[in-house]
Structure 1
Amino acid sequence: MADTRTMRMAGKDSVADGVVTVTLTDPDGGVVPEWEPGAHIDLELGDVTRQYSLCGDPADRSALRVAVLRESNGRGGSVYVHDKLAVGDLVEVGGPRNNFALAPASSYLFVAGGIGITPLLPMLRTLAERGEPWQLLYGGRSRGSMAFADHLASAYPEQVRLHPQDEYGLLDLATALDDAAPGTAVYCCGPEPLLRAIENACRERDRLALHVERFAPKEVAPAPTGAFEVELARSGAVVTVGESESVLDALQRSGADVDFSCREGTCGTCEVAVLAGRPEHRDSVLTEDEQAANDAMMICVSRSCTPRLVLDL
């Protein structure tokens, strides 16, 4: 994991059913790294590295805060946080990095599903401080499972709509999107069914600008088989990528020094500029337009549609 630093867990607090916040500070009392709304950090948790969105105040340089949903059937990171990570423990932290930055817009609509509220919290704080117009539609299984719901409802009563599924059913995306003014930036984070639904709905409403962030890889078609070559433009070296390995694996095998973290195409750490050739995109970070430009790729999951790719490495 690139750009890591050791931090100390200064607090762990329950904020909803199955959700805890983790507060991380510099062990020597120094300031924490600067970050902007939408950023995430990597946490080394035992044998795994997981990404969590920062949900504190970007102006607070004394601590970094993330919220973690316990997923008993997940990949192990959240269970480690809930069951093993204790106040005082030292944790290796990577980042912050931001693939979900707050873009300028005339107005904003935020849609959160469950723990997807976390990257949106600093955005709401920032826009509220600026006095810019925004609305939040926040859904979850039940009120008790919706982290920060009470705080949001009391702090922004005119802008926040809480929508527990056991009380109201699924989120009414169509009405919320139809009510949004032209030019509205729509930010959405949550489970994959919600993200797919809002992506489909926004294709029919091109007057809106959609931004999504995924915590887990989206479903993609099986990868094409067959080996291909990767040329490293700075050195001229050519590496063959086998049909059963990733570009990242092949580059590491060749001794190339490349940054990476999640190995799932969700964190953006391994993004590399493409100088020639056409990638076969399999990531969950780049938008459809960014993928179509074919000038960057996530080398941990994406492959090639052409016999050779030339990368800015």
Structure 2
Amino acid sequence: MTQSTHSTPATLAPASQTELALSVLSKQTESDGVVSLLLGHPDGRRLPDWTPGSHIDLMLPSGLTRQYSLCGDRQDPSTYRVAVLRERDGRGGSAYVHEHLREGEQVRVGGPRNNFNLVPAQRYLFIAGGIGITPIVAMIEAAERLGAQWSLLYGGRTRDSLAFADELIAKYGDRVRLHPQDELGLLPIADYVGEPAPGTVVYCCGPAPLLSAVAEHTVNWPTGTVRTEKFVASTPNAPVRNDPFEVVLARSGTSVTVGPERSVLDAVRDAGAPILSSCEQGLCGTCETGVLEGTPDHRDSLLDDDERQRGDCMFICVSRSCGDRLVLDL
């Protein structure tokens, strides 16, 4: 997940060490190809707080871990809700949820963490494509509570594929604009966003073509006013260097050598550093690590240009070093 290059995200949330065993309280169909899970502690205990845009790591009994945006009621401290699209060409996580996960089963959950924060604004233009509605649901609720102006443009393949559409229409009426592609064609991004306006922020979550269209039609918007989240990691450029480099773990003083075929994550784990990871594609933010010395070769899909220039953190599952040595806050 990431913000577009001309947006400035809030500081990325550090990886939470929290892991909970939660029960599947309910599982229900939300649309064609989408099911929602309501998760809660077996004893009904309070769950860690979260903010709009947050996601959790769902550690499935099959051994797979997947990230899903929280889309439930933030005022209910005892439950989390996520929605899962059945991905026909996926790697098995969504298929397991749809076919095998049952009410009453337990799953381990990591997080929550937020790489897609809702920033204060007078007016929000929300754009969602398909399952990209999930983080937007919580953002809309927050905007409503804050008394901000907002509207939603929500597209998908068909009307039946639009998860939570009935729920949103019932609560918010004509501020929600549904746009099934088979009926109305592609989303009218240019008409919807218009020209930049003071106090207005655009939030978009969805597939890559939608994000590209939003970027194209908001290129003249000020930095920080267009914020997007993606589902698939960007293809990184070739590494800055192919030679081995040294990584020093500042807290222990341990030094390890990272060769061209090895990730920094694997190297520091072998050296005994207890660090969480999940997607291992530079997309989820779980393995964020502070950089104390050296220049990272950023290969993630999360940081914007300013954050890359600062060089004070990196995602060690994919990112590497520009020089001979990195000192990490591990």
Q: TM-score range by the shorter chain?
A: over 0.9
Find the aligned partners of 1:267 and 1:71 in 2 and give their Cα distance: 18
**Which of 23, 26, 48 is residue 33 of structure 1 equivalent to?**
48
Question: After TM superposition, which residue ranges in structure 1, 4 or more long, deviate above 6 angstroms?
Answer: none
- Comparing both chains, which one has the higher relative contact order based on Cα–Cα distances under 8 Å and sequence gaps of 6 or more? 2
Equivalent residue, structure 2, for 1:109: 125
Equivalent residue, structure 2, for 1:309: 326
- Out of 61-70 and 229-238, give the one that drifted further: 229-238
Query: What amino acid is the match of 1:60?
Result: D
Find the aligned partners of 1:11 and 1:43 in 2 and give their Cα distance: 15
- Out of 199-208 and 214-223, give the one that drifted further: 199-208
CA deviation map 1:163-189 (0-9, x unaligned): 111122111222222255234221111
**Which of 95, 98, 102 is residue 82 of structure 1 equivalent to?**
98
Query: What amino acid is the match of 1:272?
Result: T
**Which of 115, 123, 141 is residue 157 of structure 2 equivalent to?**
141
Any conservation in 1 of the 2:196–2:221 contact (CA below 8 Å)?
no
- Out of 272-281 and 294-303, give the one that drifted further: 272-281
CA deviation map 1:207-266 (0-9, x unaligned): 661222222212222334232121222333222111011110110111122222221111
Equivalent residue, structure 2, for 1:295: 312
TM-superposed deviation, 1:53: 0.4
Find the aligned partners of 1:292 and 1:203 in 2 and give their Cα distance: 21
Equivalent residue, structure 2, for 1:170: 186
TM-superposed deviation, 1:5: 0.9
Equivalent residue, structure 2, for 1:267: 284
Q: Give 3-state SS (helix, strand or coil) of 2:308's partner.
A: helix
**Which of 127, 132, 138 is residue 143 of structure 2 equivalent to?**
127
Instruction: Please tell me whether residue 7 in structure 1 is matched to residue 22 in structure 2.
Output: yes
TM-superposed deviation, 1:289: 2.3
Any conservation in 2 of the 1:192–1:218 contact (CA below 8 Å)?
no
**Which of 241, 248, 255 is residue 258 of structure 2 equivalent to?**
241
Long gaps (5+) in structure 1: none
- Out of 186-195 and 8-17, give the one that drifted further: 186-195
Q: For the aligned residues, what is the CA RMSD?
A: 1.7
Q: Give 3-state SS (helix, strand or coil) of 2:174's partner.
A: coil
Q: State TM-score, norm by structure 2.
A: 0.90
Q: Give 3-state SS (helix, strand or coil) of 1:8's partner.
A: strand
Find the aligned partners of 1:3 and 1:192 in 2 and give their Cα distance: 31
TM-superposed deviation, 1:2: 4.2
Any conservation in 2 of the 1:182–1:208 contact (CA below 8 Å)?
no
Matches within 5 A, 1:217-256: 217-224=233-240, 225-256=242-273
Query: What amino acid is the match of 1:281?
Result: H
Find the aligned partners of 2:283 and 2:73 in 1 and give their Cα distance: 24
Any conservation in 1 of the 2:22–2:40 contact (CA below 8 Å)?
yes
